[in-house]
Amino acid sequence: MVGTHQLPPNLLKLFAPRPPLPYSKPLGRDPDVSIHKKHISCVSPLLDRLKLEAASTNEDGVNQENGEKDPLVDRMPPETLTDSMQVRFERRQEERRRRKEEQLAREENYDPKQDPNATGDPYRTLFISRLSYEVTESDLKREFDMYGPIDKLVIVKNKLTGKSPGVCVHTVRT
């Protein structure tokens, strides 16, 4: 770089070259070439042998020639039937169709006027979020009472755990 000799010593150290790499002895061989030759043979003699053994044994694993039972038959896992792609696709389609019908039935039966938790005028309802998890309804009533009368104030809670996600519904009385 041009002008690095004019830098102060503490910055000049940042531009110093790295130390040379340590010396290591050469291997004497190419590391990419394998030393051991692998013996690769054909699979067809093994397949012929398996076909002969399968033909000479019955389904119980008993050899028909000498009457001995094959010890591998007991250790073999039982055959498991798997669904074909078409059967799985049809099953998933049926499941989707069933879920869609259930959703449509729920939508037909839904009446928001009969819901006890959905009462109130939407134009007088405030949704307050990012509340502290420790806040109570009495704390919120005390805070919002100065702005006017409160019709309903509910901290939303999980039905299973009873914990609040930090959200409140505030309905103002007019």
What pLDDT digit, counting tens, does each position of 80-92 carry?
677 788 889 999 9
Tell me which of 34-48, 52-66, 104-118, 152-166 is least confident.
52-66
Q: Is the pTM of this model over 0.85?
A: no
pLDDT one-digit tens code per residue, 11-61: 988 888 999 999 988 878 787 877 777 777 888 888 888 887 777 766 655
Structural domains counted in the chain: 1
Residue 12 domain flag: no
Please state, in angstroms and as integers, the Cα–Cα distance from residue 33 to each residue in 27, 36, 37, 40, 152, following that order.
12, 9, 10, 17, 81
Residue 4 domain flag: no
Domain that holds residue 165: 117-172
Residue 3 domain flag: no
